[in-house]
Structure 1
Amino acid sequence: MSRPMRLGVIGAGLKAADYARGWVHMPEVAFVAAADVSGASLARLAGICTAAGRPAPHGFEDFRGMLAACAGELDAVYVSTPHALHAEQAIAVVEAGLDLLLEKPMVTTVPEAQRLVEAQRRSGATVVIAFQGGLSPLVLDTQRRARGGEFGELVSVAAVIWEGWSNAYAGHWKQRPELSGGGFMFDTGAHMMNTVCLLADADFDRVSAYMGHRGKPVDIVCAVSARLEGGALVTFTAAGEGPPGCASHITLFYAGAIVRIDAWGGWREISVAGRAAVREEAEIRDNPMKSFLAIRSGAAPNSSTVDNGLRFARLWDGIKASAAQDGASIRIGAETS
C-alpha cells in the first residue's frame, strides 16, 4: 500500500470533527497537524484520532505557525473556518506547495477569488471546493450531456432553496457578517448558486437582487433575476426563515428538455418530448475526502475548481452590489471585478 496522504486541518470545529470521525478510519489519510484558536476544538480532534488508535495531530493556535513548522510533513490541508477567513488561509496553503480541500463557499469577494486563482496557477496545487453539488455524479452527468447538445439550447433557469436557517443559526458566527461574508443566500444558498454556475456553464452578464434581513444582521431572504452571457435568464429565490427542514429545486429549461435537480445533486428528473420524468437518486457525497483523493491521484477530474469559484464570486458580488442599490441592474465583470 502506498503512503497515506498526510493531512493538516485549519479549523477544527464541529464540521471538521464530524468529518474526522469518518476520515480517521480511512487508511489513505493520516492526520498530522491541526490549527484552531480553540484549545477545546483541538483537544476534541485529538481525542477522535486517539480513540481510533491513531496518533494525535500536532496542535497549533495559529495556522501560519502550523504551516511553518509542518509544511515538510504535510501533503494536503483541509480548511474549515468561517467564510471570511478562507482566502488568507487557502492562499497560504497553496503558496506552501500543499494541496487543498476547502470548505464552501470558496471565498467572499471577487478580489479574493482572483488572488486564490493566481496562487493556484503559480503553485500547481490541487484545490477542490467541498460542494456536494460540485462533486455529485448527477450534476456532472447533467453538465456533460448539456455540453454534448443532448438537451438543446439553455433557455432559462429557476432555482429555489429554503431552510429554517434564521432560528437554527441565531447567535452563530454564520449570522455575524464580519465572519460570514453574507447570510442565508451565501451559506445554504451557496449550494444553489454553485450548482447553477456549473450547469449553466456560462458567465453571468447582469443581475438584479433584493434582500431582506427580517431583524437579523445578515440577509435571510433573497430574490435575484439575472441574465447569462449567452442570453438565458436565471432566477434565484432563497428563504431562510420558516419551519424546520431544508430543500432545493433547480429547474433548467432547455429547448429540447426540462431538467429538475436539487442543489446538492441528490436527485434529478429529466423530461424530454413531453414524456413524464422519472426521478433518479444518488448518494449525496457527505464525505468529500473520497473525491479529493481521487482527484489528487488523477483517477477523477476536478469538477469543483477555483475557476468555478471565481464565477460564483462574480455572481455573489453582483448580487450584493445590486441589493445595496435596491435592485439596480448590475453588470457582472465590470462593477464587480
Structure 2
Amino acid sequence: MSSTELPPVPAVNALPKVSPVEAEGGERLRSVRLPGATLAVRSGSSGNKGLPPALYVHGLGGSSQNWSALMPLLDGLVDGEAVDLPGFGDSPPPDDGDYSVTGHARAVIRYLDAAERGPVHLFGNSLGGAVATRVAAVRPDLVRTLSLVSPALPEVFIQRGAIPTGLLALPGMASLFTRCTKEWTPEERVRGVMALCYGDPGRVSPEGFRNAVEEMERRLRLPYFWDAMARSARGIVNAYTLGGQHGLWRQAERVLAPTLLVYGGRDQLVSFRMARRAARSFRDSRLLTLPDAGHVAMMEYPEQVAAAFRELLAAAGPPAGPGAVVAGGSDRAGAGS
C-alpha cells in the first residue's frame, strides 16, 4: 500500500472550509494505492491516534465529505477515516471498471487488510450501507460494530424518489440524461440533490451550499463522472435482484457485529417502513428513527446519530480477545452484483 498526500478539500455540508493551516489539526486527505484501485482516504483529528479505528463509507454520488459533520462528534471515541469509493470523490475509477456492490466491498476489504486497521467500527450510508453489510457478512473479522444510515437494501416497492436511480442503470440513460440536463447550472443540480436527500434542505447553511456547488462543478468536469454513477446504480439494481446466500437480506442475517440502524421519516430514496424489517434481519441490532430526517441523517442530525453510536459502543463493550471471531481470510465479497 502506498500513500501520498492530497491537498485539503472543502466539506460538502455545513462545515467551514478547511484551509491548509487548519487542516493540520483537522481532516487530511491522502491517496492509497491498492491492488485494482486507488482510494482517497480522509482522516479525522490527529489526536485520535491509538483509539479504536472506524471507517465511513458514503452513498451513490457522495464522497467521504458526507461524514465530515459526524466525524468530529466522535473525536475521543474512535480514530475515524472515510473513504471515497472508486470513481467517487477524489478516487479514480477502479482498474477493472467494476462498480458493483461486490466490487466496492472488495475495495473496502482490500483497504482494511492493507492498512491493518481491523476490526473497525464500520459506518455506511445508502449504497455504502449495502457495501458495509456485505463486508460485515463475508469478513466478520474486520468489523467490530456496524452503523447503517438508510442502507440500500432490497425493497419490493421502491420509493418514487428512487426511480431515477433505477432508470440511470439502464444502458444509454446516462448519456440521455446528460443531454437533457446540459443547460442545468451547478446550483440547480445541487438544489435538486438536496431536495431529494434532505428532509429539510433549509438546514444547509449558505456556505455549505456554496461548497456543494463548487464540488458539483469539479465533479462535472471529470470524464468518468456519469459512467461511475450509471455503473454504480446498475450495481445497486443488480444487488436488489440477487438471491440466495449472496442476497443482501440473507447477508444481513449473517452479520455478527452489533448493529445500529438509522432511518429517516422523510427519506425519499429508502423507505422508512424498511426499518422494522432491517431490525429483524440484523441479529444484534438497535434502531434509531428520526421522523424529520431524509436520506442523509448523519449530515442533517449528526448529534443524534453520534449519541446513538455512543450507546451502541457502550453496549458492545470492549473488543473480544484474539480468536473470538473466525477470520474470513479473503478479500472476496461474494458473487453476483
Q: TM-score, normalised by structure 1?
A: 0.33
Q: Which has the higher helix share?
A: 2
Q: Report the structure number with the largest CA radius of gyration.
A: 1
Higher strand share: 1
Q: Which has the higher contact order (CA 8 A, sep 6+)?
A: 2
TM-score (norm 2): 0.33
